A and B are shown apart, each in its own frame.
Chain A
Amino acid sequence: MSYSQSNQSFNEKQLRSILDNTVEGIVVIDSKGTILSFNRACERLFGHSTDEILGKNVNVLVPFPHHAHHDGYITNYLNTREAKIIGIGREVFGKRKDNSQFPMWLSISEVIEDGAHFFVGMIRDITEQKRHEGEVKKYTAALERSNSELDDFVNIVSHDLKEPVRGIYGYSQFLQEDYGMLLDEDGSNKLQCLMRLSERMEHLIDKLLYFSRLNKTELSHTNMDINKVIDEVLVMMEPFLLEQKASVVIETELPVVMCDQARVDEIFRNLIANGIKYNDNIEKIICIGVTTENKTKPGQQVFYVKDNGIGIPEKHYESVFKMFKRLHSREAYGGGTGSGLTIVKKIIGQHNGDIWLESKLGEGTVFYFTLEGNNERD
């Protein structure tokens, strides 16, 4: 192709060629809807050849019952100059020569040249796009159903699993009440053991149920003043703190964060409780604060909960977050199901944050975490 040197423009033949060879369909109509131009892409889209379609009304390409709308649009626009589709563009359906329909994106512009008034329509076939959207919808629905079924399953199973546990615990208690005096110390201990084990089973099932519910229930999104959140947590933990001779120090002013209050409560409660439980000092101290100068996430708001407890060996930095994983024997350090950190990590994940730790054996541990605010991503 060669341009005319003077103004870099194309000649008519070249312009026609360009028009004819666009990927998108271009159809030109007059204000009565008569088709004046119909490019090659349109031939492919609609199945009509240019020759047979020129001079026909554009309604030929519009499926019933949208004809009426179509005529209405043009008339309305010419009378009111109010663009409902002109200059805008929208999803509509097109009708092929074989009467089949397809979804398309149509954008229309108006051309006024030498007293002639045209409308130029650009057409894109969006069948693929719609099919893809449809699949995403189906997939999302299936996923929701699956989640809902899983939750029902866990609910039912928990209840059914708990029943015999209640039975074992219950009858152990009756044995104790009715025949306890017939047992020697060893016998009594065994009975106590039985009861403890069934209690433990109940707790494990409860935690499992709770953890699975975390997946299902939606987070609430509110701007929370974390200072206030911690105040409330400390009020709730007061008896425990007193009993353990523990003090909690808030080292820095804490920010306002978009989060779910109940769940963020849970994060702090768990971390504080752990720092006190796994602690051999007479005076247990927990420090809480926020920093933007953390090496792992510089510039981000990183919360920390620091304790003067027993510390965690580096090789266990990952495994502490595993469900039901404890680092000590069953009853040591106040016992527990080993699910606290798993739940904390889950909640932080739901807030699109991260949690990690640093520790020195015999000196203490710091848990760091971010709460990057709720995106739709879960």
Chain B
Amino acid sequence: MNATKSLEQYNGEGHYVLIVEDSPVDFEIISRSFLRVEFKPAVYHCTDGDEALEFLMLPHSKKQPSLILLDLNLPGTDGRHVLKSIKSDKNLHHVPVIILSTSNNESDIEFCFEYGADKYLKKPISLDEFANTAKVIKNFWEDQIIRHGSAYSA
């Protein structure tokens, strides 16, 4: 029935995805879609921008995430600001960032690419459609991160 509906929590070892998403529904949609397409990376979940930046900037967190999934509309510190901060930090800017957004706004899309986002994906409402999005992310992961492996652990 619902064997593992959630993804593995990051335990300090190996590659992992940082998911910055404040909506519990959307986080669950992401998790379920990943599982549907057999994509099961370890995951660290932050529900707001400040929490995410704090986590990323911790001096002792030598293991940076290999991928960041970033929602744009976060409470408090906005996703756009988080993107800017990540991409302007010399220790972080190499980490690929995929934006997940409900916004179709052209100016949002332009902004994200201008500030170095690797992909801008729309968040569909249906699980079926989200499975396609999950596939895109999975392919990106396998292509960019696993294939290029240690390039991203600098």
Check if A and B associate: yes
By a beta-carbon cutoff of 8 Å, the part of chain A in contact with chain B is 159, 162-163, 165-167, 169-171, 173-174, 177-178, 181, 198-199, 202
Q: List 6 A-B pairs, minimum CB-CB distance, nearest first.
A: A170-B25, A167-B25, A178-B2, A173-B127, A169-B125, A166-B125
When distances are taken between beta carbons in the complex, the residues of chain A under 8 Å from B102 are: 159, 162, 166
Total count of chain B residues near the partner, CB < 8 A: 15
Q: Given A159-B102, A162-B102, A166-B26, do A202 and B125 touch, yes or no (CB 8 Å)?
A: yes
Extra contacts besides A171-B25, A178-B5 (7): CB < 8 Å? A159-B73, A162-B102, A165-B125, A166-B26, A177-B2, A181-B1, A202-B125
0/1 string, B63-94, CB within 8 A of A gives 1: 00000000001000000000000000000000
Interface of A is mostly: helix
By a beta-carbon cutoff of 8 Å, the part of chain B in contact with chain A is 1-2, 5, 23, 25-26, 28-29, 32, 73, 102-103, 125-127
Shortest beta-carbon distance, B152 to chain A, in Å? 31
Cβ–Cβ contact A167 & B1, under 8 A? no
In the assembly, what is the distance between CA of A84 and CA of B8, in Å?
Answer: 81
Cβ–Cβ contact B26 & A170, under 8 A? yes
Determine the residue in chain A with the shortest Cβ distance to B73: A159
Cβ–Cβ contact B25 & A199, under 8 A? no
Cβ–Cβ contact B2 & A166, under 8 A? no
Shortest beta-carbon distance, A116 to chain B, in Å? 67
Cβ–Cβ contact B73 & A170, under 8 A? no
When distances are taken between beta carbons in the complex, the residues of chain A under 8 Å from B127 are: 170, 173, 177
Cβ–Cβ contact B2 & A170, under 8 A? no
Listed A/B pairs (15) with beta-carbon separation below 8 Å: A159-B103, A162-B102, A166-B25, A166-B125, A167-B25, A170-B25, A173-B126, A173-B127, A174-B32, A177-B2, A177-B32, A177-B127, A178-B1, A178-B5, A181-B1
When distances are taken between beta carbons in the complex, the residues of chain B under 8 Å from A163 are: 23
When distances are taken between beta carbons in the complex, the residues of chain A under 8 Å from B5 are: 178
In the assembly, what is the distance between CA of A186 and CA of B22, in Å?
Answer: 34
Among the interface residues A166, A169, A198, which one has the most CB atoms of the partner chain B within 10 A?
A: A166
In the assembly, what is the distance between CA of A198 and CA of B126, in Å?
Answer: 11
Shortest beta-carbon distance, B55 to chain A, in Å? 24
In the assembly, what is the distance between CA of A166 and CA of B26, in Å?
Answer: 8
Shortest beta-carbon distance, A181 to chain B, in Å? 8
